[in-house]
Amino acid sequence: MRISELLRKDGVTLSLEVFPPKTSEKYTETAAAALKIAALKPAFMSVTYGAGGGTGEFTASIAAEIQNQFGVPTLAHLTCVSSDRAHVRRMLETYREKGIENLLALRGDLPPDGRISTDYRYAVDLIRDIRENGDFCLGGACYPEGHIECAHKAEDLTHLKEKVDAGLDFLTTQLFFNNDVFYNFMYRAREKGILVPVIAGIMPITNARLLSRSAAMSGTDVPQRFRAIVDCFGGSPAAMKQAGIIYAAEQIIDLLANGIRHIHVYTMNKPDVAAGIMSALSGIL
C-alpha cells in the first residue's frame, strides 16, 4: 500500500523504524527484531539504509519480510551521496522486484573521507532521478531546527521546497524533543508553500549515551526538563528506559492534541521500546 494513500485517510498513523545489520552474520537477529516490531501492527515501517550504501540488499530483504509476513507496508530508505547512477538503478530494481512501493529519498551523511558522488550532490538530484525511473511513492527528510550543515533555517527551507517541488509525496522530520520547535517549523513550512503531509519523528531516549549521540549528530535542542530526566535516571538502565518511553509518549500525546495526525517513532530495532510506546498510547491511537 502507498503511504500517500494512508496519509490521505482520516485518522492517526503511527509508524515504527528499524535499521539493517552491518554484516550478514547479524541478519537473522536483526530480521527477528524487525518482525517482532511488525507484529505490533504499525501503520507502516521504515527500514533505513546503511551509510555508504553497502547494505542496501539487507534493507530490501528486511522490508520484504515485514510486508510478506505481517502485511505491514514498508518505507525503504535510499541514500545517494556515496552512490552512482548504476547502483541507484539496481537498488530501484531490487525494491521493485520485492514489491516495495514506498521510498524515502535521502542524500545521506557526507562520508568521512569527503569523497562524494559525481552523479548526486543533494537529495533533490536523487528525487528527480527516481521520478524519471519508476512509479514509487516518495518521501523525504526535513529538519525542524534546520539541517546541521545549513547556517540559515530560511535557506534550508528553500532547499526543502525544491525537494518537495521535485516530486515528494510526504516528509518525515528529524527527531526533536521540544514540540514547540515542530509547531514553529510547521508554520514556516506552510507559509513557504510546503503543503505535503509532514510526519513528526519522535525518538524514545532509553540511555544517556543515545541522547548525547543523537543530539550531537542532529544538533537538536535538548530542553532543560528532559536534561533533568536524563541526569536523574541515566544511571539506571531500567529507569531510563521507562522514563524515555514516557517522555516520548507524552510528546506524541501533545502532538495529537494539537492536531498532528502522523507520528513516526525511531524504535531502533528495539521491540520492547516499540511495545512500550504502543502500550502507553493504547486507547489513544
**17: annotated active-site residue:** yes
Q: What distance in Å separates the CA atoms of residue 197 and residue 5, rounded to the nearest whole number?
A: 11
Q: Note whether 172 binds ligand FAD by CB under 6 A.
A: yes
Please state the closest distance from residue 268 (CB atom) to ligand FAD, in A: 12
CB contact at 8 A, 178 and 203:
no
Q: Note whether 77 binds ligand FAD by CB under 6 A.
A: yes
Site string for ligand FAD, 130-159 (x = CB under 6 A): -----------x-----x-xx-----x--x
Under rule CB under 6 A, which residues in 44-73 are in contact with ligand FAD?
Answer: 48-49, 51
First to last CA, the chain: 20
Q: Single out the residue of 14, 33, 72, 124 in contact with ligand FAD (rule: CB under 6 A).
A: 124
Q: Note whether 15 binds ligand FAD by CB under 6 A.
A: no
Q: Note whether 251 binds ligand FAD by CB under 6 A.
A: no
With residue 274 as reference, give the H or E element that holds it.
helix 271-280
Q: Note whether 79 binds ligand FAD by CB under 6 A.
A: yes
| List 17, 65, 101, 145, catalytic entry | 17
Give the interface segment with ligand FAD, choosing from 32-40, 101-109, 189-197, 274-282 (CB under 6 A): 101-109
Q: HSE (CB half, 13 Å, CA atoms) of 274?
A: 24
Nearer to ligand FAD, 102 or 174 (CB): 174
Under rule CB under 6 A, which residues in 182-211 are in contact with ligand FAD?
Answer: 201
Q: Note whether 107 binds ligand FAD by CB under 6 A.
A: yes
Q: Single out the residue of 129, 163, 204, 269 in contact with ligand FAD (rule: CB under 6 A).
A: 163
CB contact at 8 A, 177 and 210:
no
Question: Which letter, b or e, does each residue of 17-36 get, where b requires 16 or more Cβ atoms within 10 Å of its Cβ?
Answer: bbbbbeeeeebeebbebbbb
Nearer to ligand FAD, 27 or 122 (CB): 122
Please state the closest distance from residue 235 (CB atom) to ligand FAD, in A: 30
The full DSSP string for 40-71 is T--S-EEE---TTSTTHHHHHHHHHHHHHHH-
Q: What is residue 153's three-state secondary structure?
A: helix
Q: What distance in Å separates the CA atoms of residue 116 and residue 148, rounded to the nearest whole number?
A: 18
Beta carbons within 8 Å of 16's beta carbon, 6+ residues apart: 37, 40, 42, 45, 46, 264, 265, 267, 274
Q: Note whether 220 binds ligand FAD by CB under 6 A.
A: no
Closest CA to 227 of 250, 243, 249, 238: 243
- Catalytic sites, residue numbers: 17
Residues that bind ligand FAD (CB under 6 A): 48-49, 51, 77, 79, 104, 106-109, 122-124, 141, 147, 149-150, 156, 159, 163, 172, 174, 201
